[in-house]
């Protein structure tokens, strides 16, 4: 089930990506709605990170292309923000949490303009949104994994983008922080932003996201969560691996109950 929509905020056409001789994504065609919280699900190595990197032009496609806001990527870079996987960041870089978040404000400043009071206030506000204001002066190397993750999310917020790509933003954060971040993402989606999240836990996927992309090198499904979270599509996405890992019925049952929406 691949639902295409009119006036998408993201569109991907016939995308194929390989690393050297190894194909990772085949013939991906999808369109995504704006103002939604969107999850990307799939087993390890399914190409989830590669998909968001290819959409942003961070990895080269063998064929196909993506457009954002009905425009070429180059014209809309300022409207796109990205939180990479935690492991891909050099956390020994000498900078405080506030420095990192201030960097998010740079591309709204003109060339040669230094960030000032306004940018600092924005950065502190963004740290506050992820409950990290108290750690503003702390070196990032001296933060816990979950705290580092939150600083990077604050940096993305400071970019004041319209689309946010987040690669496993809940990795290493505790459950109460995860819930708070989901609420923050829901608020962002509610105010018209599009938040696209690579996610691992299929139990919570049904309750967190408005829309799901299910991927296993091929696109298995893309559509409203309620419509795509079915036993058939989960099995297609995860193959035999799913039944050993989890109880599909339980996943679907849980998706009817969304504590964050009630
Ligand atoms: N830079 C790279 N060079 C070569 N192969 C890569 C590179 N990045 C990813 N791959 C391979 O491409 C495939 C897809 O990787 P990707 O990280 O996109 O998957 P994923 O679905 O995000 O996986 P995970 O859930 O494990 O994070 C994997 O087999 C991976 O080993």
Is the distance from CB of 124 to CB of 136 less than 8 angstroms? yes
Query: Cβ(38)–Cβ(166) under 8 Å?
Result: no
117-127 pLDDT, tens per residue?
888 999 999 99
Q: Is the CB of 47 under 6 A from ligand 1?
A: yes
Query: What is the fold of 1-69+162-262?
Result: Rossmann fold (3.40.50)
Residue identifier of the C-alpha nearest atom 28 of ligand 1: 45
CA distances from 255 to 3, 170, 187, 194 (A): 19, 19, 20, 21
Region for 42 from its dihedrals, namely left if φ exceeds 0, alpha if ψ lies in -120 to 50, beta otherwise: left
Q: Where would I find the H helices in 45-142?
A: 48-55, 97-103, 117-129
Task: Report whether pLDDT(54) > 70.
Answer: yes
Lowest mean pLDDT among 80-94, 111-125, 204-218, 239-253: 239-253
Q: Which numbered atom of ligand 1 lies nearest the CA of 85?
A: 27
Averaged pLDDT for residues 67-86:
92
**Which segment of 58-67, 153-162, 177-186, 249-258 scores lowest on mean pLDDT?**
249-258
C-alpha–C-alpha distance, residues 8 and 19, integer Å: 28
Euclidean distance between CA atoms 97 and 243, whole angstroms: 42
pLDDT of 260 = 40
Average pLDDT for 227-239: 91
**pLDDT for res 240:** 65
Residue 50 Cα to ligand 1 middle (Å): 6
Mean pLDDT calculated for residue range 207-212: 96
DSSP labels, 177-228: HHHHHHHHHHHHHHTT-EEEEE---HHHHHHH-SEEEEEESEEEEEEEHHHH
- Digit-coded pLDDT (tens) for 4-20: 999 999 999 999 999 99
For 134, the enclosing helix (H) or strand (E) is none
Cβ(28) – ligand 1 distance below 6 Å: no
Q: What integer pLDDT is reported at residue 118 of this predicted model?
A: 86
Residue to mutate (ligand 1; options 47, 84, 218; most atoms within 8 A of CB): 47
CB neighbourhood size of 207 (10 A): 16
**CB distance 19 to ligand 1 below 6 Å:** yes
Pairing of β 211-216 and β 218-224:
antiparallel
- Predicted confidence band at 110 (pLDDT cuts at 50, 70, 90)? low
ipTM confidence score: 0.97
Cα four-point dihedral sign 50, 48, 220, 182? negative
- Residue partners of 211: CB distance under 8 A and separation at least 6: 32, 33, 36, 37, 38, 39, 222, 223, 224, 225
Average pLDDT, the chain: 89
Among 15, 24, 84, name the best residue to mutate to test ligand 1's pocket (greatest count of ligand atoms within 8 A of Cβ).
24
Alpha-carbon span 39 to 211, nearest angstrom: 6
Please give the average per-residue pLDDT across 189-198, as a whole number: 96
Check pocket membership of 45 for ligand 1, CB cut-off 6 A.
yes
Distance in Å, CA 81 to ligand 1 centroid: 21
Domain limits of the chain? 1-69+162-262, 91-160
Q: Whose CA is nearest to atom 24 of ligand 1?
A: 44
pLDDT bucket at 257, cuts 50 / 70 / 90:
very low
The pLDDT confidence band at residue 259, using thresholds 50, 70 and 90, is very low
Q: Rounded CA gap, 258 and 248, in Å?
A: 17
223 lines ligand 1 (CB under 6 A): no
Helix (H) or strand (E) holding 104, with range, is: none
216 CB within 6 A, ligand 1? no
Of all residues in the chain, what percent are helix, strand and coil, respectively (each to 5)? Answer: 40, 25, 35
Pairing of the two strands 211-216 and 194-198: unpaired
Note the pLDDT of residue 241: 61
Ligand 1 atom with minimal separation from the 51 CA: 18
């Amino acid at each position: 089930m691949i639902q295409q929509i009119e006036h998408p905020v993201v569109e991907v056409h016939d995308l194929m990506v390989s690393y050297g001789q190894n194909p990772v994504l085949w013939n991906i065609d999808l369109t995504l709605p704006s103002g939604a919280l969107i999850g990307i699900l799939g087993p390890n190595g399914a190409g989830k990170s590669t998909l968001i990197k290819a959409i942003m032009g961070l990895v080269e496609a063998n064929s196909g292309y993506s457009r954002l806001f009905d425009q070429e990527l180059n014209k809309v870079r300022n409207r796109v923000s990205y939180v990479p996987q935690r492991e891909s960041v050099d956390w020994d870089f000498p900078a405080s949490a506030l420095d990192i978040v201030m960097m998010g404000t740079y591309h709204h400043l003109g060339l040669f303009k230094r960030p000032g009071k306004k940018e600092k206030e924005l950065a502190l506000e963004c740290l506050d949104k992820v409950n990290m204001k108290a750690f503003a002066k702390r070196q990032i190397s001296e933060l816990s994994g979950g705290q580092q993750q939150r600083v990077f999310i604050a940096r993305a917020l400071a970019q004041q983008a319209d689309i946010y790509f987040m690669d496993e933003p809940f990795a290493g954060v505790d459950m109460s922080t995860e819930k708070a971040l989901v609420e923050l993402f829901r608020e962002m989606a509610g105010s018209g932003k599009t938040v696209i999240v690579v996610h691992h836990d299929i139990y919570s996927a049904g309750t967190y996201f408005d829309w799901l992309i299910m991927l296993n090198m091929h696109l298995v499904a893309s559509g409203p969560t309620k419509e795509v979270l079915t036993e058939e599509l989960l099995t297609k996405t995860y193959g035999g691996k799913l039944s050993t890992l989890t109880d599909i019925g339980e996943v679907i049952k849980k998706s009817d109950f969304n504590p964050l929406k009630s």
